[in-house]
Amino acid sequence: MSLRHSLERSAQYDAEYGGNLSSHLPMALTALARLGADDLRLAAFAGHYASRLRPAPAVEPWPGGEAWQGRFGDPRAWPAYRSLFGDWIDHEGAPAVLAQALPALLRGVGKAAFHAQIRSAYAIGSGHGPELASALAYWACRWFSLGAAPTRGRERDPAAVLARLRCAQPKPGLIAERMALVAGPAAFARVAAGLRIDPQTTLEQLATLAARLYAASANFTVLHLLTSAHAMRVLLSCIEPDAAAEALGHYWLAYAAAHAASGLGDTDGPALPGVPLSAPRPAASRQAPRGA
């Protein structure tokens, strides 16, 4: 109940602040609650963090008759998408909405530096329907595709493909902006398409590689690869298995773009003590947590 109350209060704030920076308030509150934070700790953190945020825009109904994907990538559409997903979840329930919406959303997984994807996974874990609506709305309004998902690659090692990506480093800026710049040239898509996407192993490989790279570098962009890989585990459990390969292909393109934009040239990192090469996979399930 403490987390639910905190998330309800956090709904008064916009999804972004400053220069298009993503609000981490709902995610941080969920993480603190999982760590055992009490009401006072949650309230104190929310009060401190919210000082940088701006109020959420006024409620805006979704235009009747307009296709739900019709405003993908429009940052101004967040209020309308909040209404759309809120009504959709109330009417059909979170599991049905996730099964229908995620395959389309996952085709634009990398925009906002994975924050919309990560926020959605945390919202699923929190079991809070309105927060899930806000997270999916943020994803929809910041949706951005990096192209068609790879389908015919032969290389099974993501690190080998990343080593062949030689991208000119963009000027400093937001992670998402740098990702879009390095992924623009045709050579990026051609090289990235060389990875063979395997629903059984690719995500484990990417998560392990991200963990090793972050342990070696503490690179801030690589941190988003690590947290986004965890989010993908959650999200893939909510869609049909036959949609997982395409979703992973789109995630791989965003992952490769973020790696190229990170400035790291070496894909080798130290082995992590106690961390197996193949992390255990969650049981396949399409059921969202109670209350979502």
pTM (predicted TM-score): 0.88
What is the 8-class DSSP label of residue 77? G
Residues 70 and 27: their CA atoms lie apart, in Å, by: 27
Give the tens place of pLDDT for each residue, 42-83: 999 999 999 999 999 999 999 999 999 999 999 999 999 999
Contact 262, 117 (CB under 8 A): no
pLDDT tens digits along 89-109 = 999 999 999 999 999 999 999
Q: What is the pLDDT of residues 173-225, one digit of tens each?
A: 889 888 988 888 889 999 999 999 999 999 999 999 999 999 999 999 999 99
Tell whether the model's pLDDT for residue 164 goes beyond 60: yes
Does residue 227 lie within any of the structural domains? yes
In a domain, 76, yes or no: no
Asked if residue 94 belongs to a domain, the reply is no
Number of domains within the chain: 2
Exposure of 280 in the CB half-sphere (CA atoms within 13 A): 2
Report the pLDDT value the prediction gives residue 168, as an integer from 0 to 100. 63
pLDDT at residue 283 greater than cutoff 70: no
Element (H, E) at 118: helix 115-126
The average pLDDT across 19-27 equals 95
201 within some domain? yes
φ/ψ (deg, to 5) at 281: -90, 145
Residues 148-159 pLDDT 10s: 999 889 999 999
**What's the rounded mean pLDDT across residues 119-128?**
96
- pLDDT at residue number 265: 63
Quote the percentage of the chain above a pLDDT of 90. Answer: 77
Give a yes or no: residue 184 inside a domain: yes
- Beta-bridge mates of residue 21: 17
Q: Provide the residue type at 162 as one letter.
A: L
- The pLDDT, as a whole number, for residue 170 is 62
Residue 278 has pLDDT above 60, yes or no: no
Domain, as residue range, for 249: 158-262
Rounded Cα gap, residues 148 and 237, in angstroms: 22
Q: Is the pLDDT of residue 268 over 90?
A: no
Q: Does residue 198 belong to any structural domain of this protein?
A: yes
Q: Per-residue pLDDT for 269 more than 50?
A: no
pLDDT tens digits for 221-250? 999 999 999 999 999 999 999 999 999 999
C-alpha 213/C-alpha 88 separation (Å) is 39
Angle between helices 39-49 and 25-34 (to 10 degrees): 160
Q: Tell whether 244 is covered by a domain.
A: yes
